[in-house]
Structure 1
Amino acid sequence: MKGALKDLNLNIVEMTDETATLDGGDVLFTGREFFVGLSKRTNQRGAEILADAFKDYAVSTVPVLEGLHLKSFCTLKVRTIHIMQQMSDHRYDKLTVPDDLAANCIYMNLPDKGHVLLHSTTEEFPESVKVFEKLKDHMLIPVSNMEKAKVDGALTCCSVLINKKANI
């Protein structure tokens, strides 16, 4: 991963504090601010290092009391959404789906495609897919998560979104 980021000429900040932990699944960037889940994989020191690296953005911590990490469930726990909204000056739109695991999606705003949403398949969560299908201004791409779910994985566990073209 480090090599790919270097190839894109991105700045790399390495955490040298051995007490700091920061799992990418606990970092949610909204485009305006960061929310960092404090979990079994991310601690306060890791969140502080992230805040130091991105001084132009607010960084708020959110306790992760169950589940693997923040992005696994951030859109499915009403209590967590409420906490995040209290920490932010911005009001975020939310979409509620009936299946907790189906809430783990990947949203992208792509130059030639517009709003794109990677989400679970009809075979996995048919009722949640019906909710996604109401998003008429989005390109919907169903992606199976059955195998990843066996090890508590989710779509966001398999993604790193970078807004920069490679010069390869």
Structure 2
Amino acid sequence: MFSKAIVRTPSRSMGRGITEAGLGCPNMDMALAQHKNYTNYLKNAGIHVTELAPVEEYPDSVFVEDTAVMIPFSGGTAVFLTCPGAAPRRGEVEAISAAVSAYTEETIRMEGDGLMEGGDVLLMGRTFYVGIDTRTNRSGYEQFASAAKRFGLTAVPVPFDRGMPHLKTELSALDAETLIMSRRFAEREEFAGFRKIIIPEGESYSANCLYLGEKLLAPAGFPATAEMLDKNGFTPDFIEMSEFRKMDGGLTCLSLRW
């Protein structure tokens, strides 16, 4: 499903990043170890991983997914460079642009008043589902939808009320036909065609899983979700994400994949 990925080593300033989790400051030694385990998992899955150096002036820069969205097409991959809705993060886009553009056939940049973070964008088949919230606005969605259309893909807006950082905070893919999600999305018309697995009460963090085609990665420490996945025929690998959870970050946030 993916052959390449970009990750960035966490900066020692990560604890000064944006978070509403209320779980305290991350232990950076643990964060670095967890990030290394994550990177090694991608490599062991057969993915060529480009590892970027930390950027201390941007505490949230480890969450590279928010800076760009990869658009696959028959001739390769285009990259859409975002403009994060969280103003302190906007410099992260320029910090990663050269690395991403080196691997892609075309680079498109957000313009004007458009805002978007990649954590609001979920690709299922040939359709992007784009959360519209405090981090991604309507102008950002429309610019992205226009870019996706150029390459033969469609985009569907998914507006939602505040209460989580991104769409994929509580919604992600388990395979090509199945979504794991919080109850707030269970009856949404946008996802009517998918098989849905609703996460257990109190385990909302476990809704952010990473589907890699042959492999599925889920956050460790959520026993009710693990049991539910098993009962539904899924056998994910589990990885500890405690220090990134403190910063509102999940499994998809830590890499750009294509």
Q: TM-score range by the shorter chain?
A: 0.7 to 0.9
- Partners of 2:234 and 2:224 in 1: how far apart? 19
Q: Which has the higher contact order (CA 8 A, sep 6+)?
A: 2
Tell me the TM-score normalised to structure 2 length.
Answer: 0.53
2:222 is aligned, of 114, 119, 125, to 125
Shift, 1:153, TM fit: 1.5
Distance 1:4 1:69 in 2: 24
3-state DSSP of counterpart to 1:45: helix
Aligned residue-pair number: 150
Looking at structure 2, the residues matched to 142 and 93 of structure 1 have their Cα atoms a distance apart, in angstroms, of 22
1:33-82 alpha-carbon deviations (Å, 9 max, x no partner): 11111111110000001111011222121123121110001243334242
1:95 maps to amino acid: I
Q: Which residue of 2 aligns with 1:101?
A: 205
Q: Which residue of 1 aligns with 2:132?
A: 38
Gaps of 5+ in 1: 163-168
Instruction: State the percentage of identical aligned residues.
Output: 30
Report which stretch shifted further, 23-32 or 55-64: 55-64
Give the residue type in structure 2 aligned to 1:87.
Answer: E
In 1: Cα distance, 2:237 partner to 2:139 partner: 36
CA distance in 1, matches of 2:232, 2:106: 35
Partner residue, 1:25:
119
Residue pair 2:119, 2:166 contacting (<8 A) in 1 also? yes
Q: For 1:145 and 1:57, how far apart are their aligned partners in 2?
A: 32
Normalising by structure 1, we get a TM-score of 0.79
SS in 2 for 1:36: strand
- For 1:9 and 1:150, the matched residues in 2 are separated by 32
The answer to whether 1:54 aligns with 2:159 is no
Cα distance between partner residues in 2 of 1:9 and 1:97: 35
Question: Any unmatched runs of 5+ in structure 2?
Answer: 1-95, 172-179
SS of residue matched to 2:187: helix
CA distance 1:134–1:11, shift in 2 (3 Å): farther
CA displacement 1:66-101 (0-9 Å, x = unmatched): 211100012433342422xx236x721222332211
Distance 1:2 1:96 in 2: 36
Say what the alpha-carbon RMSD is for the aligned residues: 2.0
Give the AA of the match of 1:5: V
Structure (1/2) with the larger strand percentage: 2
Q: Are 1:14 and 2:109 counterparts?
A: yes
Q: Which amino acid aligns with 1:4?
A: A
Instruction: Quote the offset at 1:24 in angstroms.
Output: 0.3
For residues 12 and 128 of structure 1, the distance between their equivalents in structure 2, rounded to whole angstroms, comes to 38
| CA shift for structure 1 position 7 | 2.3
